[in-house]
Amino acid sequence: LSETKSLNLFIIGATGLIGSTLIKQIEKEKDRIRKDQKLNIKIVGLANSKKMAFNEEGVTLKNLKEESSIENFVKNMRELNIPNSIFVDCTASEEVLKKYPEILKASISISTPNKKANSSNLHQYTKLALAASIVIGPTPPGTGVISLAFSEAASKSTSQFLYETNVGAGLPVLSTLNDLLHSGDKIEKIEAVLSGTLSYIFNSYDGSIPFSEVVKKAKVKGYTEPDPRDDLNGIDVARKLLILARETGQMLELKDIDTENLVPEKARSSKSVEEFFTKLKKEDTYFESIRDKAAKNNKKLCYIATLEKNKAYIRLESIGQNHPFYSLSGSDNIVSFTTNRYKNTPLVIKGPGAGAEVTAAGVFADILRISNTSFDGKIAHGDFIKKLKKKKLIISLIGMSNIGKTFWSKKLTKLGFKHISCDNIIKEKLGPKLKERGSQGIEDVAKWLGQPHEKQFKKNEAQYLKLEKETMNEIFQNISAENQNIVIDTTGSIVHIESNILEDLKKHSLVIYLETPEEMKKEMYENFIAHPKPLIWKDNYKDNDLAKSYLELLENRSTLYKEHADLTIPFHQIAENNLNETEFLNLIEENPSTKPMIHARKVTIRIAVNIIYLTQ
């Protein structure tokens, strides 16, 4: 198995400015990323407003042929059921965002610059929040507002929803805000210039040409929307401020943002852009008067969004040289956080806040961020107890047959865990074939499989592995609907299935390898030589030499188990300490892969208290 992880992208809005730029960036960087990060990025689904294409091996814009709709795109994406999938929405469509909850619940993560989802009405936002496991509303200090997995929302999915580019394009605005909140800081005030268009307009408006001409020049340069009223009315800025407010726990609606509309009232009902500019020209005197008033006081005009004391408002303000926004130039955005820690000198983020290149780069960064978040990163020691209490802890046991996977799985059922036995599920799937032989039970599955030198072996081995893959996919699909802690008792041959199954196992659970000691391997070898039992070889059987091949199989499997485990527990650590089920859990929580084994009973009390909580 390759150490390289696959990442599968479904991109909608693929021929738009941001979508097409993102695709070019991925094509340019994917070889470097494969080499440096062991990550194979594949675009397996593409769509624009008219056509779409799907292929597990990869697609390009040239493959767009099939008639497109968001319903069919999501349907095809779900039916493909590819692990490590990310839906990338590069549209501004409200129809697409309605599908977000369905996509997230299918364990498909989302990255998007589409700000309409997070600035939609509270009903839609709450629905999305629950699907994405976003904690909405005020939260205790230090907990943060967003937790993309295993949060208070008790999500039914393991997917992530990242939207850094919603505010400030490629600028790290939302991640910085959440870092402040997660670390226990308190936000006192946010001030921001959140429109590259309006930043350019007012940074360029020095009185040398009329205001209407500055706006027209911005349109020619491509800074404005096709209809500049969509920039000047402040709604786009209001959406961004609303997102910032919700990130801090203030559950506001768009109508709660007090927004100054810069479109003169007489020009708002213009039937065309040309008519709008004609009417805007008549207002040049008004804009010149407010610019002139600011200039006389050594100030400049700036369209600023403010969040302070549960109030959100957007105003065209006159600011002096002492204001951190005074030096703003071009079309840059700027955000200032005044907090308990950054009270006298606010934390300021400044840079390009618009443009296809920086926005696509921000989406690309979110995609890589999702790919880098594996289950072991989510199960820090503090979270272990939290998931245990909430009945959201999923453990997978891997290792050789007879090492104790089933034994410990059954032990954990005493603590309320659900035991999922992969052997039993496969046995049921093979039931009809076993019946034909007058057989049943896992021992008879082995007899049906046969020995590697027998004629039917290759065919039966392939069928068994196909059933094992099918079994694991069914477990992944159904596991999120369970409302209890779960232990997955895997087969010894799980490391011989395709690598994406093992990646999905890590995505859904904490994978624990029960390591076979050398003395036990020797005993297993002697027993096998005396009584060779059928097993999955997967290219490890060579030269018709059963004994030599079995030794190689043991070593190869041991290497693969370690490679794909989050934690490795040597067998002797369990046996020598004669652990009970509570102490076994404690051993996992203490993470033996990074810490030496502490006498388990010394630290059992903490977990035992939580077990009492679970079983009440």
Catalytic residues: 240
In 3D, which of 599, 397, 377 has the Cα closest to residue 491? 397
Look up residue 183 and give its amino acid. Answer: S
In 3D, which of 265, 256, 263, 226 has the Cα closest to residue 238? 256
In 3D, which of 129, 84, 131 has the Cα closest to residue 105? 131
Look up residue 264 and give its amino acid. Answer: P
Q: Which residue has the tokens 């071009």?
A: 330
Task: Kindly state the tokens that stand for 180.
Answer: 């402040």
Strand, helix or coil for residue 274: helix
Q: Which residue has the tokens 């999915």?
A: 157
Task: Kindly state the tokens that stand for 167.
Answer: 């505010």
For 129-195, give the secondary structure using H, E and C.
HHHHCECCCCCCCCCCCECCCCCCCCCCCCCCEECHHHCCCCCCHHHHHHHHHHCCCCEEEEEEECC
Kindly report the CA angle at 7 between 2 and 11, in degrees rounded to 5? 155
Residue 555 phi, psi (nearest 5): -70, -40
User: Contact at 8 Å (CB) between 302 and 317?
Assistant: yes
d(CA 393, CA 390): 8
User: Contact at 8 Å (CB) between 307 and 245?
Assistant: yes
